[in-house]
Amino acid sequence: MSDLKESTTDDYIDTSRELITNFSFDACKLGNQGYSRLLLQLFGFPGNGKSSFINSCIFALGEKKTFENWTKAAKSAGGDTTCRIPYKLTETITMVDNRGMPTLADHETGEIYAQLGNLVRLDEEVEWCDDFQKNLDRLLELNIDSDFGKSDFIVPIFVHSVSSKVPQEEKESYRIMLETARKLTGITPVILLTHKSKGGQRQMCSIFEDLGIAPQKIYATENYTEEDHQKLREKDEQILKILSQILEDVKFVLRSEREATTEKKNRMKFVLKYLSEIKKEEKEMLPSPPSPPNEKKCIFS
């Protein structure tokens, strides 16, 4: 009985590795529709396991036989990845380790949308500040007359540890952030819960369900890490299942017509509009200048 289960799992692992490795937009129902690269864009708070998930995917895919900390996932509390670093998983699939967002503050979420929208170059330090004009100039400079990212299909993946708290007072900001990521990319973000072995997965799932994410879009994993990277069948299976499911969703979306060529332009417009709305709100919140004292005019002069 146990032998049968083992061989079924091994077959599953081999088949899904093959499907993931051979994934190509050309094989989608309506052809590639102008896409040539799938960007799995990881985002989330620092230290929640983004870089470790990429390590886990590389290891589970089995090309590399021994574990290495390819992404430099760190032991510190976070904030270690400061560039958008691409890791080529297969010919078509690239995982992007985006800079962790320190807080949900507005200019920082503006930054994460510029990264998610693929408007900031890969492999370059993410320079962002709270100066609206500088950010705007930087985006325009980078994107006008530039072809980068025009054939990328983006899947946003929000990485969150099961043991990171979601404070009650921040739930609405989470909801808005996930909804904005959906509007920007046209794809509902996948929620990836890490540190699965710590428990509390059920509770964390229901928090994200309450924030509007369908249960089928929420996954949990225990990453391979420097401390614990003993190759396990169940772990490989779990990670490959997540990747396979994401690919199935991409294929489903591409059963309908999409416009790869205009999508980047629309993402640019979306982020510029978002930034100018932040600017407008900031202005409205500034105290209005004191009104000039009433000039007393002599009506007889």
Ligand X SMILES: Nc1nc2c(ncn2[C@@H]2O[C@H](COP(=O)(O)OP(=O)(O)OP(=O)(O)O)[C@@H](O)[C@H]2O)c(=O)[nH]1
**Residues at the site binding ligand X, with contacts judged by CB under 6 A:** 46-52, 73-75, 78-81, 100, 194-195, 222-223, 225-226
Is the CB of 81 or the CB of 143 nearer to Mg ion?
Answer: 81
Min dist. Cβ of residue 38 to ligand X (A): 20
Contact flag: residue 81 with Mg ion (CB under 5 A)? yes
Helix (H) or strand (E) holding 237: helix 233-253
Instruction: Give the tokens for residue 175.
Output: 């909801």
Selection from Mg ion, ligand X, none that 152 binds (CB < 5 to 8 A by kind) is: none
Is the CB of 48 or the CB of 180 nearer to ligand X?
Answer: 48
Strand duo 190-194 + 37-43: pairing: unpaired
Is the CB of 97 or the CB of 263 nearer to ligand X?
Answer: 97
Selection from ligand X, Mg ion, none that 91 binds (CB < 5 to 8 A by kind) is: none
- Residue 39-58 contact track with Mg ion, rule CB under 5 A, x = bound: -----------xx-------
Say how far apart CA 212 and CA 223 lie, in whole Å: 25
Of 164, 82, 151, give the one whose Cα is nearest residue 118: 151
Say how far apart CA 23 and CA 213 lie, in whole Å: 26
Is the CB of 81 or the CB of 161 nearer to Mg ion?
Answer: 81
- The crossing angle, in degrees rounded to 10, of helices 171-185 and 260-285 is 150
Selection from ligand X, Mg ion, none that 109 binds (CB < 5 to 8 A by kind) is: none
Say how far apart CA 88 and CA 9 lie, in whole Å: 26
List residues near Mg ion by CB under 5 A: 50-51, 81
